[in-house]
Chains A and B, each alone.
Chain A
Amino acid sequence: MRPEPGFLATYLEPAQAARAVAALRARGQRDVRVAAPAPFPELMAALRAPPSFVGWITFPGALLGLTGGLLLTILTSLTWAEVTGGKPVVSLPPFIVITFELTVLVGSLANLLALVIGARRGLRRGHFAQGGPFTRDRIGIFCAGVDPAVERLLRESGAEEVTRVP
């Protein structure tokens, strides 16, 4: 996909970057993206991004583990229905242990899958190249568009550097 044009600004201070993001959004800019070495809360809040979809994959994953655990223990016990210790063949209290562990296991694996999907999506349309300073000590803000007012806003908000990309 052809990269869209825009401005890439570099900041050192999270508070400055957050103010810049807030100003861009107040100006009506919707396509603002950020890269940072840590999830600075003020920056994430300024972006006002929608909630992550991770829970929509993790929760069904946990439910799948729960169902799978119950089915595994109950159906396999019925396959060889031998009474031991005078207890019912389908003894739910011990099966809850297995079911709980499988709920956590499958839920965690689903959570990992959701994270991988989300992390891959986070690379799309990005102007934050690997090897840059944004995983280390700088915060990058990309704003789509070629409006000179945006460039001016970024410079005035304390950016160390503003470049036109691509």
Chain B
Amino acid sequence: MTSREAAFRRIEDAARAAHGPPGPAYFLALAIAGGTAAFGGWAYSLIVRGGLHWTGLERPGMWGNLITDFVFWVGIAHSGTLISAILFLFRARFRTAVYRVAEMMTVFAVMTAGLYPIFHLGRPWFAYWLLPYPNQRLLWPNFRSPLIWDVFAVSTYLIVSTIFLFVGVAPDAAALRDREPPGWRRKLYGALAFGWRGTDEQWRHYTRAYLFFAAFATPLVVSVHSVVSWDFAVSILPGWHSTLFPPYFVAGAILSGVAMVITILVPLRKAFRLEELITQRHLDMLCRLVILTSLIVTYSYATELLLAVREPASDPERGTFLYRLGGDYAPLWYLMVACNCLGPALLFLRRVRERPAALLAICVLVNVGMWLERFNIVVTSLAHDRLPFDWRVYTPSWVEWAMTFGAFGWFFFLFLLGLKLVPPISIAELKEEHAHGEAGAGLAGEEPHAP
């Protein structure tokens, strides 16, 4: 066997190892994730049966944890498209080894985010009213409402990112199909391969179509979180009504999404011994994205704060921001700044970037910080609006916390299942890189294994 054959085989083996028989660690993780999701689902059933009084929502604070979770999960979904589409258009080769995981994460995060507007409806069984369809009452959705924009943006994002994921999987699934002995897994790969045989005509249309998908997905990823930010920005509430929101939200989304990709990649490469394919260099480049977006987010925090405190003392905008700094939720604001601004600054140090445990800890903190950022935006603005008689401190109920943690369980449950069905690395692109001497160095080390 030549070194080229051995290297190609190693790449396929790495993908197949993730699909090997799962060990106890996998089942334990699946049980924890599934159990948390089930508990969250049961908590939600209380709302379905008893109404929103199970939440801590009360006027004027009618948006709380559930909307915070929605914005957080839409944000998490952004890195997948950033890494696969935008970096593809920029010809950033480091994306090759990591983009499949990011794309899977995107699809599952949008599937999680899309649930929250439905959860938040008083009567979720009428959720389909949000969609435009001919009906006998001649009633159509109000297309001037940003909430309807959300429906279109999130649905489009889910459909396009799912297509993007499965189109990318087809050549890889074909490679695995042609190695697999007859059985259910071969049938699965055959279904995912959509009849792929790698002919020149197939590749010719594929590469062109992939370019167009990337070209569609790039403005889409910017639009989706901009649309989510307009849920807030088009209102007149102090703390929400800001033209800064779209770029601020997009940068924050990419920060949280890339942090989540690293949070998943660090244990994944260890568990499946993918260090040869997902190298330190890949993590290093992702860290640079975290630093960049953290700096943009820090600049946005400073801008909105400084603009607010320059206002006259009677200005409600100023009051809201001073409330964030010294009011009931102030500890959460300082914790957010520590997690999103100070934590990522440590990544400037090479020795921090090169320690997976430190990297993991910083990225988990960034995700905590990004959840807090959304909480600060959603909750503190509503808790301290223009009318002092309306001021009220919102405290999430245990049902809302159960649903928040349940969402994490649901996301990781889907991800763990997806990991066993979809090749977690791009086999075709890694082969192409290897053929041109660009792939991860050795490719001839230890055998991959299933945890």
Min CB distance A74 to B, Å, is 9
What residues of chain A lie closer than 8 Å to B427, measured between beta carbons? 37
Does A97 lie within 8 Å of B153, measured CB to CB?
A: yes
Residue A35 is within 8 A (CB to CB) of chain B in the complex: yes
Could you tell me which residues of chain A, from 18 to 63, have a CB within 8 Å of some CB in chain B? 33-40, 43-44, 47, 49, 51-55, 58, 62
Extra contacts besides A37-B175, A44-B207, A105-B156 (8): CB < 8 Å: A58-B212, A98-B149, A104-B156, A111-B209, A122-B201, A134-B197, A137-B4, A137-B8
Does A58 lie within 8 Å of B209, measured CB to CB?
A: yes
Does B143 lie within 8 Å of A135, measured CB to CB?
A: no
Residue A157 is within 8 A (CB to CB) of chain B in the complex: no
Could you tell me which residues of chain B, from 134 to 193, have a CB within 8 Å of some CB in chain A? 138-146, 148-149, 152-153, 155-156, 159-160, 163, 167, 171, 174-175, 177-179
Binds B, one of A2-10, A125-133, A146-154: A125-133
Residue B331 is within 8 A (CB to CB) of chain A in the complex: no
Does B152 lie within 8 Å of A101, measured CB to CB?
A: yes
What residues of chain A lie closer than 8 Å to B156, measured between beta carbons? 101-102, 104-105
Does B175 lie within 8 Å of A80, measured CB to CB?
A: no
Q: Which of B132, B142, B432 contacts A38 (CB 8 A)?
A: B432
Binds A, one of B122-130, B219-227, B345-353, B442-450: B219-227
Residue A91 is within 8 A (CB to CB) of chain B in the complex: yes
A residues adjacent to B (C-beta < 8 A)? 12-14, 33-40, 43-44, 47, 49, 51-55, 58, 62, 72-73, 76-77, 79-80, 84-85, 87, 91, 94-95, 97-98, 100-102, 104-105, 107-109, 111-112, 114-116, 118-123, 126, 128-137
Knowing A130-B178, A135-B178 are in contact, say whether A33-B4 is a contact too (CB < 8 A): no
What residues of chain A lie closer than 8 Å to B138, measured between beta carbons? 79-80
Does B149 lie within 8 Å of A97, measured CB to CB?
A: yes
Q: Which of A85, A126, A136 contacts B199 (CB 8 A)?
A: A126
Min CB distance A60 to B, Å, is 13
Does B200 lie within 8 Å of A34, measured CB to CB?
A: yes
When C-beta atoms are compared, the residue in chain A nearest to B180 turns out to be: A131
Number of interface residues of B (CB under 8 A): 62
When C-beta atoms are compared, the residue in chain B nearest to A43 turns out to be: B200
Q: Which of A73, A105, A118 contacts B160 (CB 8 A)?
A: A105
Does B205 lie within 8 Å of A118, measured CB to CB?
A: yes
Residue B429 is within 8 A (CB to CB) of chain A in the complex: yes
Can you offer 9 A-B residue contacts whose CB atoms are under 8 A?
A33-B200, A109-B159, A119-B195, A128-B198, A130-B177, A130-B197, A135-B175, A137-B5, A137-B8
**Bound state CA distance, A126 and B213, in angstroms?**
27
Residue B307 is within 8 A (CB to CB) of chain A in the complex: no
Does B206 lie within 8 Å of A44, measured CB to CB?
A: no
Does B198 lie within 8 Å of A137, measured CB to CB?
A: no
Q: Which of B8, B9, B227, B435 contacts A97 (CB 8 A)?
A: B227
Min CB distance B24 to A, Å, is 32
Does A38 lie within 8 Å of B199, measured CB to CB?
A: no
What residues of chain A lie closer than 8 Å to B197, measured between beta carbons? 35, 122-123, 126, 128-130, 132, 134-135
Min CB distance B334 to A, Å, is 35
**Bound state CA distance, A68 and B227, in angstroms?**
20
Interface string of B89-105 (1 = CB under 8 A from A): 00000000000000000
Min CB distance B130 to A, Å, is 12
Does B202 lie within 8 Å of A122, measured CB to CB?
A: yes
When C-beta atoms are compared, the residue in chain A nearest to B12 turns out to be: A136
